[in-house]
Amino acid sequence: MQLNTELTRRDALKVALATGTAATLPLWAYPAAAAGNINFADIGVGDPGGDWSRYTQSSSYGVNLVSIGNAPSAILNVLVAGGGTGTYDVINIVGGMQKPLVDNNLIEELDTSKMPNWAKDKNISEFLAPGAPGFQFIGYEGKIYGCPTVLQGDSFAYLPEKTGELDSYAALFDPKFKGYVALEDNYTTAGQKTALYLKASGQADIKNPDDMTADEFKKVIDFLIDQKKAGQFRVIWSSFQQAVDLIVNKEVYVIDCWEPMVFVAKSKGVNAVYADPKEGYLLWAMAAYIVKNPKRSPEQEAAAYQLLDFMLGGWYGAKITTMRGYMTNTDAPDYAKAHPNEFSADDAAKVTSITENVRRKFAKGGTWQNRWPTVVNIYESEWSRFKSA
């Protein structure tokens, strides 16, 4: 059998590698995989340190995780050109990609009744259900396609010793910090946050920062270009690691970024604060989609659903929150508290505080990240104008 020969060959090489360095691999490095493997394409956030043993116990399937990029181009290249539809079972990325994925016939509509944990999760029922603004992260035209795996509300970070207390996105454009500000290279985060600020401060007439018209977005870009020409920004970053280093090395004092970057900076002993802006947050969720593949066996399909359900469960949620710093599901804090042999008291406290804090952000609101706005082409070409200005 193809799969078996593949496994033995790789195992032999792994053993050679491991013995060569006198190190040993833990047992779960070899997926028990009695029944087979679920190919799971993920952007890194969904990896519980390689430990899928609990899922394997209940489903008898292993998980083969493939690290991919989160850019829409990376995802679609891999699925459309790279033959990913025949390879991957589940793909776990930042949500809101339903339109291009469904219209290109790449993902399946989900039957939520196959996931017992779905109905238990309060995050889904309160923030992401049909009718709520967060539905755009998992649904499309009234149908559900994505299983939410991570939720978060973004703002910006700052170094209080250099800036004092900050509570508005205005800080990103404050001439006081000229040359010490960084933005993310992303029109759906930095672009939307700027729009939120311009609208709240009455500087631009923007009806809906979640889905701007071409003219509205052009106003945002014109504003950003003026700022850029005045030397406001030090850098436009494009990776997690880059942003962490900008904070840790104090290269910039105010940075449009993600909250886990601040957690990492704090663990390095840097006093950075993730702001609580009066304008609200940029809210978003990650979603796991089942890749459409008519050739997939019913057993494999069932195992894929089991994986989604597992990801809505307490252990996985708590594990991802402790490792990555994002909120997952509402079962996670209780599970971590109830299983002191699996999660230390510190970790359990961390899961609870992150969950409470992100739920507070969702309750407060702001703007909902829209990965596929109506005039997405204009967003892209205008953002390119900003970058080359």
Q: Rule CB under 8 A: which of 314-333 touch another protein?
A: 324
Question: Does the footprint of another protein cover residue 230 (CB under 8 A)?
Answer: no
Question: Does the footprint of another protein cover residue 383 (CB under 8 A)?
Answer: yes
Query: Helical H runs in the chain?
Result: 2-20, 53-59, 72-76, 84-87, 98-103, 122-123, 160-163, 192-200, 214-229, 240-248, 259-267, 298-311, 314-324, 332-338, 345-364, 376-388
Nearer CB in complex with another protein: 43/200: 43
Residue with tokens 């494009």: 238
Here the tokens at position 279 are: 């304008």
DSSP string, 290-345: EBP-TTS-HHHHHHHHHHHHHHTSHHHHHHHHHHH--B--TTHHHHHHH-TTTS-H
CB 99, min distance to another protein, A: 7
Nearer CB in complex with another protein: 19/125: 19
Nearer CB in complex with another protein: 69/116: 69
Question: Stretches 296-304, 308-316, 349-357, 374-382: which one binds another protein (CB under 8 A)?
Answer: 374-382
Nearer CB in complex with another protein: 222/251: 251
Handedness of CA 40, 43, 73, 213 (dihedral sign): positive
Nearer CB in complex with another protein: 233/315: 233
CB 233, min distance to another protein, A: 5
Residues 194-223 that bind another protein (CB under 8 A): none
CB 267, min distance to another protein, A: 5
Question: Does the footprint of another protein cover residue 68 (CB under 8 A)?
Answer: yes
The contact mask relative to another protein for 282-321 (x = CB under 8 A, - = no) is: ----------------------------------------
Apex CA 173: angle with CA 169 and CA 174, to 5°?
100
Question: Does the footprint of another protein cover residue 103 (CB under 8 A)?
Answer: yes
Helix (H, G, I), strand (E, B), or coil: what is residue 255?
A: strand
Binding-site size, another protein (CB under 8 A): 80
Residues 3-42 that bind another protein (CB under 8 A): 10, 13-14, 17-18, 21, 23-26, 28-29, 39
Here the tokens at position 336 are: 């971590």
CB 156, min distance to another protein, A: 17
Residues 245-264 that bind another protein (CB under 8 A): 245, 249-251, 260-261, 264
The contact mask relative to another protein for 160-199 (x = CB under 8 A, - = no) is: -------------------x-----x--------------
CB 338, min distance to another protein, A: 26
Contacts for 374 with CB less than 8 Å, ≥ 6 apart: 211
Question: Stretches 62-70, 309-317, 331-339, 344-352: which one binds another protein (CB under 8 A)?
Answer: 62-70
What CA–CA distance (Å, rounded) separates 161 from 353?
A: 24
What CA–CA distance (Å, rounded) separates 219 from 373?
A: 16
Query: 291 near 85, Cβ under 8 Å?
Result: yes
Contacts for 110 with CB less than 8 Å, ≥ 6 apart: 144, 145, 146, 147, 290, 308
Handedness of CA 195, 198, 203, 207 (dihedral sign): positive
